[in-house]
Amino acid sequence: MGLFQRRIKNFYGLDVGNGAIKLVELRQDMRTSSVVLQRFLIRPTPADTVQNGTIKNPAELKGAIKELLREMGARSLKVATVLTGQNLIVRQIEVPRMPAEELKKVIHTQADHYFGIPAEDLAADFQVLRQLPQNRMQVLLVGSLKQPIVELVDLLQSCGLRATRVDIEPLAAMRSLRWTNAVASTVAEDATVILDIGAGTSNLSIFQGDELQLVRVIGVAGNDFTQAIAEGMQVSWQEAEGLKLRYGVDPNSPIFPSLRPPLERLLRQVSISLEFYQVENRSQCIRQMCVIGGGSQLAGLVAALSADVQELFTRLETEAPLVFAGNPCTYLATATNAQAAQDLGPTLAVAIGLALGEVVASATD
């Protein structure tokens, strides 16, 4: 260890969602390696500035992010960030063993074949999963359209934020939940589902062991509930948000008739994804489904998901996974405001996973 090495290091994760902007500061004591949730900020995303990873109103969003930075007491920061709501293409391929640089070139030249996106429009990343016999290897490929990522990174740069990494939501979520033991590890054959119910979209991802297998973006989330209540009850958006938080999923509440259609759409889309995966992978057991995101805090929603999943697996004559709410803050040491962190843990999960990615990267520097 160098004589002047810093004893304390801060790491930042920024999650700019449809509904809320989340900025998390993790602090690591380099002597003990212990990590603490030092500070966090959650502020509403100005209406209609971000739509599923696409920036619609850069000037207004910039104002909100700069304000957040000011509240953190910083003029500039290095952050890991994420793009949610965009379709991700996840594939596993087998290729001859080759160095990373060479594999990058192969992916570039084969972009259309692997992702159906021309190389110039593609942002791709890969992870070597394992070495195979006969000098081959198995590789996880992740790709998406490049333009929204470039726009996000440029916007952050103009606010004084340097994006050290643009992660994908499923990996940030899983890192957050596994690292804090909010999600138990499984044997390599078993699958874990993470469902992040946000404001604009719900992201469902399935992992076999720790390996990402499938990602689905479901176009039903918190905003759809609010919108349905506003229309059904003939109230403003703000009033509808208030009613949503007050009643949750209660079949006897006055908002239930309005809430029911989007709720059923969400349950159905989750069921379709799980059934598709289970039927395609009959030998695998889906052990657990962990639900995060602000939208998951709708009272009664996790129980409704659990009942629906139970029904599906009874029909499939397979043991049903355990469905539970995921909260990284239950297990993460917190410098201040432990109760608020605990209450907001499901919303902060992705931002915490982003900052943890920086902790991990720093340890391997």
Ligand X SMILES: Nc1ncnc2c1ncn2[C@@H]1O[C@H](COP(=O)(O)OP(=O)(O)OP(=O)(O)O)[C@@H](O)[C@H]1O
C-alpha distances out from residue 276 to 92, 206, 281, 304, Å: 18, 11, 9, 20
Q: Is 295 in the site for ligand X (CB under 6 A)?
A: yes
Which of these ranges, 17-25, 67-75, 175-183, 227-235, lies near ligand X under the rule CB under 6 A? 17-25
Enter the DSSP assignment of 319: P
Tokens 């994420």 belong to residue: 82
What residues between 208 and 227 interact with ligand X by CB under 6 A? 221-223, 226
Q: Which of 333, 361, 357 lies closest to 345, judged by CA? A: 333
Mask: binding to ligand X, 316-345, rule CB under 6 A, as x and -?
------------------------------
Among candidate residues 42, 45, 37, the one with its CA nearest the CA of residue 10:
37
Site for ligand X in 238-257 (CB under 6 A): 241, 244-245
Site for ligand X contains 298 (CB under 6 A): yes
Q: Between 262 and 357, name the residue whose CB sits nearer to ligand X.
A: 262
Per CB under 5 A, does 85 bind Mg ion?
no
Please identify which residue in 192, 278, 288, 347 interacts with ligand X, judged by CB under 6 A.
347
In the bound complex, what is the minimum distance in angstroms from residue 156's beta carbon to Mg ion? 16
| Contact range with Mg ion by CB under 5 A, out of 10-18, 24-32, 113-121, 239-247 | 10-18
Interaction mask 12-51, Mg ion, x per CB under 5 A: -----x----------------------------------
Tell me the C-alpha distance between 102 and 107, whole Å. 9
**How far is the C-alpha of 156 from the C-alpha of 346, rounded, in Å?**
24
Binder among 28, 38, 49, 84 for Mg ion (CB under 5 A): 84
Select 26 or 263, whichever has its Cβ closest to ligand X.
Answer: 263
Stretch of 12-20, 24-32, 74-82, 263-271 contacting ligand X, by CB under 6 A: 12-20
Buried b (16+ CB within 10 A) or exposed e, 195-213: bbbbbbbbbbbbbbeeebb
Cα-based distances in Å from 129 to 2, 190, 213: 33, 16, 12
Q: Tell me how far the alpha carbon of residue 269 is from its chain's centroid.
A: 18
Asked whether 310 and 304 are in contact (CB, 8 A), the reply is: no
Query: How far is it, in rounded angstroms, from Cα 211 to Cα 231?
Result: 41
Q: Does 18 bind ligand X (CB under 6 A)?
A: yes
Q: Please tell me the distance from the alpha carbon of residue 11 to that of residue 209, in angstroms, as a whole number.
A: 27
Question: Which residues of the shown chain bind ligand X in the complex (CB under 6 A)?
Answer: 17-20, 84-85, 198-201, 221-223, 226, 241, 244-245, 293-295, 297-298, 347
Question: Which residues of the shown chain bind Mg ion in the complex (CB under 5 A)?
Answer: 17, 84, 198
